[in-house]
Amino acid sequence: MVDTITGNQALQIEQPLIFEQNEPGRTAVDLPAPTVQEDRLGTLRRKTPVGLPGLSEPQVVRHYTRLSQKNYGIDSVFYPLGSCTMKHNPRLNEKMARLPGFADIHPFQPDSTVQGALELMDTLAHWLKELTGMPAVALSPAAGAHGELCGLMAIRAALEARGDARKVVLVPESAHGTNPATAATCGYEVESIPGDGNGRVSLAGLKDKLGPHVAAFMITNPNTCGLFEGEIVEISQAVHDAGALVYMDGANYNAIMGRVKVADLGIDAMHINLHKTFSTPHGGGGPGSGPTVLSDALAPFAPLPFVVHGPDGFRMVEHARDAGEGQQPFGRMKGFHGQFGVFVRALSYMMSMGKDGLAQASGDAVLNANYLHARLKGSLSASYEGPVMHEALFDDRFLKDTGVSTLDFAKAMIDEGFHPMTMYFPLVVHGALLMEPTETESKQTLDAFCDTLLALADKARAGDAADWFKSAPRHTPRRRLDEAQAARKPVLRWSPPSEG
């Protein structure tokens, strides 16, 4: 028996591509026929059809509404993706970003006409410097990975300025893939630093690798196992003693926001993912923003452009010659000044929370992660002893001999209405399940989530459930994809049937 007659299930409707819905000549607007018949295009008139689909307005509205409902997002479900900080995005921030004075301006406008926007950037910079205790910040990097590049380029500029070009960047084995990728992009050789067996960097292992060839050490703190690097001050000291600089990956800043001034940890550069910590919508490739704070040693090399406040108001410094005494900007990170819409949302978040509110948010984020860790560790296998910071890491030992993999387990969660956690990262534990609840989830949500995970773990261990897990998800618009095929032979372009 066929499941359904139409292939649809209630509101889960099979949606063809917009081009496949084309009805030539159909449009969403009714314009009067032109009264002037003169051909003003002449030879410029196109000879082939433009190739846009003909659709009515209700067709267009339904098409995009249906597609939007096929998505999993923080507005519809709990989204415990570790390392990604999928917290609720307050609507106040959206309202601020839509104010015409912020939304309808252009980077080519004269400074005198955008004083408010420049003041907003200056105020955001002030908050970031105040929270981190660092003397300078480059606002222009467009994401965390771009901020890493900015930090390493500042480090390279500082080393070259003292005539000490070095070749190697050290990275812990638990690092996010962007860290070694950034160092390699910047032209450095990457060497890996082992862990200490308790999910943290081995100080002895680091000291072994330090030397006059090392430009920088990149460290994530709290790290990707959700643990605070308690020896961070000794680590920074050892790096500085070897003449190198310390880059901190600040993607996990949500665990320490408002509580730790990273300047006190001996950090020279750190990016802050505004889209993670400061609550602006992200995922699916953007938009992001990765302002990078810089220490006294790196501040003179900060990239262009930046905002300064003078007697005549705010001004955007665009050229090295205007950068001021002692400044040697290493260049620029992107065409304009950065992701302004994200700046507005992030500052709106900071100002509405206040400094105490930000500290409470990081405290609640850590509390929520410890709640998950405590409720789950008896059944799932916790990779390291708690307490944890803002995320809880488990590995796949609890699935041993069940025939169920981390991937199968995650797919089964989708059928239960939960977005899976981060899987198979960090690489230092086998079959990782990394959960980051953030501060915006209630105890009810966390309990429903834990109850589900505990029930799924019991089901896996009870035996005979491998096929059930492997056939998940069952209630999604698409079932399990062939991931190798999807990665190797993605079909990214639609061709009209006539082109074959």
Ligand X SMILES: *Cc1c(COP(=O)(O)O)cnc(C)c1O
- The minimum distance between CB 222 and ligand X, in angstroms, equals 10
- The minimum distance between CB 184 and ligand X, in angstroms, equals 15
Determine if 151 is a binding residue for ligand X (CB under 6 A). Answer: no
DSSP of 360-372, one letter per residue? Answer: HHHHHHHHHHHHH
- The minimum distance between CB 465 and ligand X, in angstroms, equals 32
Half-sphere exposure of 2 (CA within 13 A, CB side): 6
**Exposure letters 15-44 (e unless 16+ CB within 10 A, then b):** beebeebbeeeeeeeeeeeeeeeeeeeeee
Query: Residue 171 burial (CB < 10 Å; 0-12/13-18/19+)?
Result: buried
Residue 493 phi/psi, 5-degree rounding, is -130, 135
Which of the 8 DSSP states describes residue 22?
A: -
Say how far apart CA 109 and CA 165 lie, in whole Å: 40
Say how far apart CA 254 and CA 131 lie, in whole Å: 12
Considering only 15, 93, 220, 279, the residue that binds ligand X (CB under 6 A) is: 220
| Range in contact with ligand X (rule: CB under 6 A) among 99-107, 141-149, 391-399, 447-455 | 141-149
For residue 357, the surrounding DSSP H or E stretch is helix 340-376
Smaller CB separation from ligand X, 271 or 375: 271
Smaller CB separation from ligand X, 391 or 408: 391
Considering only 229, 249, 395, 439, the residue that binds ligand X (CB under 6 A) is: 249
Binding track, positions 82-111, relative to ligand X; x by CB under 6 A: -x----------------------------
Determine if 288 is a binding residue for ligand X (CB under 6 A). Answer: yes
Q: How big is the site for ligand X, counted in residues (CB under 6 A)?
A: 13
Footprint (CB under 6 A) of ligand X, residues 391-410: none
Footprint (CB under 6 A) of ligand X, residues 27-86: 83
- The minimum distance between CB 365 and ligand X, in angstroms, equals 14
Residue found by looking up tokens 């908050």 in the block: 127
- The minimum distance between CB 441 and ligand X, in angstroms, equals 19
User: Which residue's CB atom is positioned nearest to ligand X?
Assistant: 144
Binding track, positions 175-214, relative to ligand X; x by CB under 6 A: -x-x------------------------------------
81: amino acid identity, one letter = L
For residue 215, the surrounding DSSP H or E stretch is strand 214-220
- The minimum distance between CB 428 and ligand X, in angstroms, equals 13
Considering only 222, 290, 303, 305, the residue that binds ligand X (CB under 6 A) is: 290
Considering only 118, 131, 136, 144, the residue that binds ligand X (CB under 6 A) is: 144
Say how far apart CA 449 and CA 179 lie, in whole Å: 31
Q: Residue 395's closest CA among 449, 457, 473?
A: 457
Which of the 8 DSSP states describes residue 299?
A: G
Do 429 and 395 touch, CB atoms closer than 8 A? yes
How do strand 189-193 and strand 168-172 relate by DSSP bridges? parallel
Binding site for ligand X (CB under 6 A): 83, 143-145, 176, 178, 220, 224, 249, 251, 273, 288, 290
